[in-house]
Amino acid sequence: MTSWRDVEQSAPELAERVRGLFDAHRHKTIATLRADGSPRICGIECAFENGELVFGSMPGARKGADLRRDGRFALHSATVDPVDGQEADWPGEAKIAGRAYAVGEPGPDGDRFRADITEVVHTHLNAEATLLVVEWWTPEHGLRKVERA
C-alpha cells in the first residue's frame, strides 16, 4: 500500500504542488470502471487526511459500486485555462491514479474510500511557457520528468 504520506516523503516538492492543485478547488473528476469494463467519469470531492488520500460516494452512487467491485481509479484536479499573456503563471493540472479500498461498510452517509497510490502527475509549463512539462512519480520508479515542445 502506498499512502499519500509515502509520496510526500519520496517526492516532497511534487507532492506539495499536486496537493495544492487538488486543494485549490472543491470539485474534482474521478474515472472508475463500470461492470462491463467501460469507463465512467463523475464529479467527486477528496481530502488529504493524516497522510492518506480519501474520498467518498453518496449512498447508492454508481461510482461507489464501481470502486467496491474494481478499485482502480484516476482522479483529476480541477482544470483552469492559462490566462493569455500570462501562460507562465498557469499552475497546471494534477492527476492521481491508484486503487481505492473501502473503509468500513456502506452506510446512510454513503461509502468512504482510501487510496493506494500508483501514480502522481503534475502537468505544467516551464518558466518561459515554451515547453509542456510532465512530472510523474510511481512507487517503483520514483520521480521522472519530460519536457515537450
> Which CATH number does 4-148 carry?
2.30.110.10
Q: What is the mean pLDDT of the chain?
A: 96
SS3 call for 40: strand
**Residue 29 reports pLDDT greater than 80:** yes
Query: Could you tell me what percent of the chain has a pLDDT over 70?
Result: 100
**Residue 106 reports pLDDT greater than 80:** no
Query: What's the pTM?
Result: 0.95
Identity of residue 37: G
Cell numbers standing for residue 107: 452506510
Q: Which residue pairs from 142-148 have beta carbons closer than 8 angstroms and sit at least 24 positions apart in sequence? A: 142/10, 142/11, 143/10, 143/11, 143/14
Cell numbers standing for residue 99: 486503487
Residue 16 CA to residue 128 CA, distance in Å, equals: 22
Q: What are phi and psi of 18, to 5 degrees?
A: -65, -45
**Residue 21 reports pLDDT greater than 80:** yes
Residues contacting residue 130 through CB under 8 Å, at least 6 positions apart = 149
Q: What is the mean pLDDT of residues 85-93?
A: 94
> Whose grid coordinates read 490566462?
83
Question: Mind listing the pLDDT tens digit for each residue in 37-88?
Answer: 999 999 999 999 999 999 999 999 999 999 999 999 999 999 999 999 999 9
Domains of the chain, by residue range, sit at 4-148
